[in-house]
Amino acid sequence: MPGSVSFSHEDARRYYDWFGAKQDTQGFYENAALGALIENGAFCDAQAVLEIGCGTGKFAARLLSDHLPASARYVGLDISGTMVALAKERLEPWADRAEIHRSDGGFDLPAFGMSFDRVVFTYVFDLLSVEDISKALSATHSVLRTGGWLCSAGLTRGTGGLSSITSAAWTWVHGIKPSLVGGCRPLALTDFLDKSRWRVVHREVVVSATVPSEVLVAEAL
Ligand SMILES: C[S@@+](CC[C@H](N)C(=O)[O-])C[C@H]1O[C@@H](n2cnc3c(N)ncnc32)[C@H](O)[C@@H]1O
């Protein structure tokens, strides 16, 4: 069962404080999925975006420079002080409308504002415990305006061939020692969505360098 091996908030903070800027080397499997998320996330219509686990601010910089309206506000949260510092530095050109905060790892999202048009998670749900995934989804629903979109990309199960071998091997390594894979393991976020609260707008599995990622856009009902 995904999530049966624990990677605590403290484990995540310690690991990503150490990993820091090396996160950007993961583009060889993340970039194609992030591109699909941008294609399907209609960010040009968003005035307020919240990102959880913003990492180095790479995705935020892409949104702010090329996709969000010039008037849009961005709020990023991360549990790692190293990541918060890197993201603040990277987003300096948009400091008048982009803010980054250190998170305690919980999901008190209303503390950072309400009525977001998009809440973004890229390669974050896949390192949360099953309990935290439910908390994060519920908190996300509470801060999205009605009709707002959850936008997620993350590791998922393979679709056959090499991608299935890669996801099985990844799950196996995670089961031995989660920190060997940054706490992340393949899962299907759609399995966690309450159909009475979310409508799936777009879902696809993107495979890059044999690594499968689930790209999911879901509307808060
Ligand atoms: C795999 S990295 C992905 C970073 C970035 N979203 C990307 O796609 O490059 C996971 C990020 O989530 C952060 N993180 C982990 N658990 C978190 C939590 N409970 N709350 C906020 N951020 C968290 C980590 O510090 C790290 O920056």
For ligand 1, atom 4, which residue shows the shortest CA distance? Answer: 55
CATH superfamily for 9-143+157-220 is Vaccinia Virus protein VP39 (3.40.50.150)
- What is the predicted pLDDT for the residue at 219? 98
Contact 107 CB / ligand 1 (< 6 Å): no
pTM of structure: 0.96
The C-alpha atoms of residue 143 and residue 9 are separated, in whole angstroms, by 22
The C-alpha atoms of residue 82 and residue 95 are separated, in whole angstroms, by 18
Q: How far is the CA of 220 from the centre of ligand 1 (A)?
A: 22
Q: How far is the CA of 51 from the centre of ligand 1 (A)?
A: 10
- pLDDT in single tens digits along all 221 residues of the chain: 444 558 999 999 999 999 999 999 999 999 999 999 999 999 999 999 999 999 999 999 999 999 999 999 999 999 999 999 999 999 999 999 999 999 999 999 999 988 999 999 999 999 999 999 999 999 999 999 999 999 999 999 999 999 999 999 999 999 999 999 999 999 999 999 999 999 999 999 999 999 999 999 999 99
Q: How far is the CA of 1 from the centre of ligand 1 (A)?
A: 21
